[in-house]
Amino acid sequence: MRRFGAVVVGAGPAGMSAALYLARFGINTALVEQLAPGGLLLQTSAVENYPGFPKGIQGYELADFMSEQLSPYTNLSRIQGGLSEFKIAEGRKLLHIDDEWLEADAVIICSGVRYRKLGLPNEDFLLGRGISHCALCDGNFFKGQIVGVAGGGNSAVGESLHLAKIVSRLHLIHRRDAFRAAPFEVDRIKQTTNIVFELNTIITALHGEKQLEGISLKRLDTGKEEFLPLDGLFVFVGFDPVSGFLPEEISRDSQGFIVTDTEMRTNIPGIFAAGDIRAKLCRQIVTAVGEGATAANAVNIYLEHAHG
């Protein structure tokens, strides 16, 4: 069993920022990453609200920069693997990653979120067969075709702007007539001529035996139902926390997001959380990065007290 001063779970912006600060504090740190570093950043097309990039930056480029910035630190071990079990036993924090156990004096949970599904029959089967949660990864499959986008938040609106440059027509389907997304972006979609607004509208069924062929829509103001033929459907109806592996004793809100104080401390001493997995209102790359740094600082103080 390898032992670390701190283990960071998840290498999105929060996790990479936490790892950077921990390494610079001189703490023997492990950063556990399941896939490539970047988290949801890898599925984000243009990032225009991260300070320092006046022309914006692609999500994968920002993720690469963050990852590269960690390379000089020899006290940082990057462990690729999935966390399957996390136990707290008599104050010891034990994490099972693939086929090995790690022990940590402190843990920062940065496991983030995953895209929420619509919850319709056939949705799992059609995922990858016309349905997608990633415009950047799958948008080019629909070049010159007709797609739908479900949702009314920053993801739906931002990714619609990216997709509209590729497809011939995009139907933006939102259950209300007001958007949750930033007004600046909403103004831009309103000026995009190949985006058709399907407002006060919900998707009631997904059609296609082998591949998505279309969807059923219900107009909430009139009750009218209709079939809309589509080549693709991008679903951006919010996020759910990635928290299945967490010990039960860590406090969460009613939706499963981890509750912390302003220093990113959970209710369990030595366990911290940062980024999208936290219960909070503002989910941005810049807040995730700030929380990663705050959590690392709190870990440093915790370890000084624990060992001092």
Contacting positions for ligand NAP (CB under 6 A): 49, 118, 150-156, 158, 175-176, 180, 236-239, 283-284
Query: What count of other Cβ atoms lies within 10 Å of the Cβ of residue 262?
Result: 8
Q: How far is the CB of 33 from ligand NAP (least distance, A)?
A: 21
| β-pair type (92-97, 83-89) | antiparallel
Q: Tell me the C-alpha distance between 163 and 172, whole Å.
A: 11
Q: How far is the CB of 221 from ligand NAP (least distance, A)?
A: 14
187 is catalytic: no
Q: How far is the CB of 206 from ligand NAP (least distance, A)?
A: 13
Q: What is the number of the residue whose Cβ is closest to ligand NAP? A: 153
Residue of 137, 177, 240, 253 marked active site: 137
107 vs 189, beta carbon nearer ligand NAP: 189
Residue number with CB closer to ligand NAP (202 or 268): 202
Radius of gyration of the chain measured on its C-alpha atoms: 21
Task: Give the nearer residue to ligand NAP in terms of CB position, either 174 or 252.
Answer: 174
Rounded to the nearest whole angstrom, what is the least distance from the CB of residue 201 to ligand NAP in the complex?
9
With respect to ligand NAP, which residue has the nearer C-beta, 93 or 283?
283
**Residue 90 region by backbone torsions, left for phi larger than 0, else alpha for psi between -120 and 50, else beta:** left
Query: Catalytic residue among 105, 110, 138, 276, which?
Result: 138
Measure Cα distances from 3 to 87, 109, 143, 199, 266 in Å: 14, 17, 50, 53, 21
| Known catalytic residue at 221 | no
Separation CA 197–CA 228 (nearest Å): 13
110 is catalytic: no
What is the C-alpha to C-alpha distance for residues 305 and 5, in angstroms, rounded to an integer? Answer: 13
Question: What are the beta bridge partners of residue 235?
Answer: 150
